[in-house]
Amino acid sequence: MKKVWIENYPKGVVADVSATNQSLLELFDSSFAKFSKDELITNMGVTYTYAQVDEVSKAVAAWIQSLGLKKGSVVAIMMPNVNQYLPIVIGALRAGLIITLVNPLYTARELRHQLNDSDCKAIFILTPFCATLEKIVGETGIKTVICSDIGDMLGTVKGKIVDLAAKYVKKAVPAHTLKSNSQYKVHSYKSIVRKGKGMRYTRPQMNAKDVALLTYTGGTTGMAKGIIVSHHNVEIATSQYEAWFQPIYDGLAGKEQINTIVALPLYHIFAFVISMVGVRVGQHLTLITNPRDIDSFIKTLKSRPFHLLPAVNTLFQALMAHPQFKTIDFSELKLSVAGGMAATPETAKKWLKATGHPILEGWGMSETIGVGTANPFTNKEFNGSIGMPLPGIDINIRDEAENVLEIGEVGELCIKGDNVISSYHNIDNAGFFTADGYLKTGDIGTMDDKGYVKIFDRKKDMIIVSGFNVYPNEVENVIETHLKVAECSVVGVDSESQGQSVKAYVVKSDPSVTEEDIKAFCKEGLAGYKCPRDIEFIAELPKSTVGKILRHELRKKANQAA
């Protein structure tokens, strides 16, 4: 398939990017030297400069090296977005270790799987999650536990207040008795930073091919898969995003520092790569610890001008539903990016009307380091596509036999690029890649003659009704335009007569709406075989910690009830 998208790139965006063939340590050294006086991170109103994060991360690295772990050992980080996060990530990488980022809301079973599958030797964990670790740490190879309180990098006074409020007011710190024993040693984050500042840091010999991350897929359909990510994968991914951001930089006056809102959790690959891009180009990152606390989120958005707002569809919806949303100043906003799940046309329409800025969709996977396609950041309206391949990425559409299809034909998206991983961890790679090295994404879509890609659905989510393909996203987009519907999710239910039938789970925005109303509404906008046979009203849709609707839970629920 010809790379038709390159000729449609915005002005200023290069057709390809070249790797430095260096490790991320060179990226960190360069950025900390270049932007030393600039602000890097802010959380709960407390800010650290590049120079300060440089110092803390080197202290973390020096202390880790004192443990005597061999190069390439794995260390886990189980925290929400707090000021400690990036210094720990950067410090562990600077120590020559591999990091595995853990969802802090994992159950003990899920945590045990990731720690054991990754052969993790140490873990940095926020105190509220120590109770989960305590349940299974004895069943793992963990030798070192570093516990951090929420307020550890918020200053003495504010940190103490935040910690007391978390423990006694919000009751957010479950009791635990995690203490040193013959199997593992427990340390406090503050103590290891203090000790590390007095230790000598020795920069390890690292190269681009060394493993940087052992990240894990969401595990929404089973046990999470480990993904081997090299320093080269991450470095090239940041280069690709930097190139795509160029029109934004060109539109800034003078040396204005970009303030990016990091509301998606940093353990998620999209947020992680956004943070690495930020470090690479000298951005300021505003970290949101709990994006579901919309009151606090809006206060943060009002505290200083912001330019980039990456989020998921459900977060955009939650912000707009809040009574204080209209008090936010969007005058400095340059870009609203939707990733992680499809943005609905209705949400995009409301966001544009409310803020004057379009939601532009992008697409990526853990296996592509969150980079794949994006709409040009010069676009002025939502178009329902996930955009076009970024510089250095090749995408084609293939059928079940791996034949490359023509422009406009529907099939599975397959992707190749230096940002794309070459293998999974501890599992057979057969079946995940084409014979010529493209990753098979599992997403069903098409590409037009300008290179724009449109995804219809995940391959596994597609519903087949009497031989006809039904894409849940299409049905959901129609239902969500109903004025009395807040949100919905559509799944397939086994059917003897049709193979599958369509079922919709609907959250009401008006209690008066009925099943008959929704069915009649669907008949006006959908072919008969696409219309839901069953409508079930539900108080809340099940969602992951990044706000992605968990269709597999609804599918299981629907088929058990059938």
Q: H or E segment at 88? A: helix 85-94
- Using CA atoms, how far apart are residues 447 and 96, in angstroms rounded to an integer? 41
Checking DSSP bridges between strand 98-101 and strand 335-338, what pairing results, if any?
Answer: unpaired
Helix, coil or strand: residue 447: strand
Cβ–Cβ < 8 Å for 478, 488: no
* Mean pLDDT across the chain: 93
Among residues 504, 502, 496, the alpha carbon closest in space to that of 464 is found at 502
Backbone angles phi, psi at 50, to 5 degrees: -60, -40
Backbone angles phi, psi at 228, to 5 degrees: -90, 115
pLDDT value for 220: 40
Cβ–Cβ < 8 Å for 131, 174: yes
pLDDT value for 333: 94
pLDDT value for 219: 46
Give 516's DSSP letter. H
545: left (phi over 0), alpha (psi -120 to 50) or beta: alpha
Q: H or E segment at 214? A: strand 211-216
pLDDT value for 465: 86
- Residue 98 token pair: 């591999």
Strand ranges, E, within 254-405: 259-262, 284-287, 308-311, 335-338, 359-363, 373-374, 388-389, 393-398
- Residue 504 token pair: 């919709």
pLDDT value for 340: 72
- Residue 521 token pair: 């509404």
- Using CA atoms, how far apart are residues 446 and 183, in angstroms rounded to an integer? 53
Q: At what angle do helices 231-250 and 269-281 cross, to 10 degrees?
A: 60
Strand ranges, E, within 426-517: 439-447, 453-458, 463-465, 468-470, 485-495, 499-508
User: Counting beta carbons within 10 angstroms of the beta carbon of residue 375, is it exposed (0 to 12), middle (13 to 18) or buried (19 or more)?
Assistant: buried
- Using CA atoms, how far apart are residues 328 and 303, in angstroms rounded to an integer? 9
Q: What residues in the chain have per-residue pLDDT under 50?
A: 219-222
Question: 210-224 burial by CB neighbour count: b if 16+ within 10 A, else e?
Answer: bbbbbbbbbeeeeeb
